[in-house]
Amino acid sequence: WAAFYMLDGIGDSFEWDIVKLPRGSTGLTSVSAAGGAWGIATNTEDLDVAWEFCKYITNTESTNILISNNLRSVPGRLSSVPRWEEVAGTDIWKGRYVQVFPEQMLNDAINWSYPVFMGEYDAAWNARIIGVFEGNDPEEALAQIEEEANAAAARYAEDE
């Protein structure tokens, strides 16, 4: 996702390309290649405006600006794929392994699994984060989440 932003700095000072994220000893990557998403909080004061913004930020033009025009991964809209393919075929990307983006999405993002302790992490997060929004100390809440998540990770690491 950062290749486009590095182009000016790199220029032709050395040969470079794009590669997939490495896999660990289990054969899996520990980083999801899948991107994020836009959402609306349940306590949003102006739901209609938030919904209009989500529609705007995910429309074809916005997706082209955010993703396709600079090859930041692959677009989440079929209508933005032609623009992605057009940019991928320009001189600046010729000879580069730009197909790594859709390949990694297909082979890794879809099959990527969360850590085995993700359920326990979610429980720790959900139990503490609401309190932060109600005025509890964020530093204290995050310390508790970290302690519980690390304990869960350690339990699963012992089982391996």
- As separate numbers, helices (DSSP H) first and strands (DSSP E) second, the chain gives 7, 0
- Does residue 97 share a domain with residue 43? yes
34-78 pLDDT, tens per residue? 566 788 888 899 999 999 999 999 999 999 998 888 887 788 888
Name the more confident of 3 and 39. Answer: 39
pLDDT in tens, 75-123: 888 899 999 999 988 887 877 888 887 877 777 665 555 667 778 888 8
Based on the domain organization, do 92 and 145 belong to the same domain?
Answer: no
Regarding predicted confidence, which is higher, 133 or 142?
142
Considering the entire predicted model, what is its pTM?
0.58
Question: What domain count does the chain have?
Answer: 2
Same domain? For 97 and 132 the reply is no
- The verdict on 100 and 149 lying in the same domain is no
Looking at the structure, tell me whether residues 47 and 91 fall in a common domain: yes
Residues 154 and 103 occupy one common structural domain? no
Buried b (16+ CB within 10 A) or exposed e, 131-148: eeeeeeeeeebeebbeeb
> Are residues 103 and 124 located together in one domain of the fold?
no
Q: 103 with 146, same domain? A: no
Q: Are residues 23 and 82 in the same domain?
A: yes
The pair of three-digit structure tokens given for residue 118, joined into one six-digit string: 């993700």
What is the extent of the structural domain holding 133?
A: 118-159
Torsion angle of the four alpha carbons 38, 43, 47, 53, in this order, in degrees rounded to the nearest 10: -30
**Are 72 and 54 part of one and the same domain?**
yes
Whether 75 and 144 share a structural domain: no
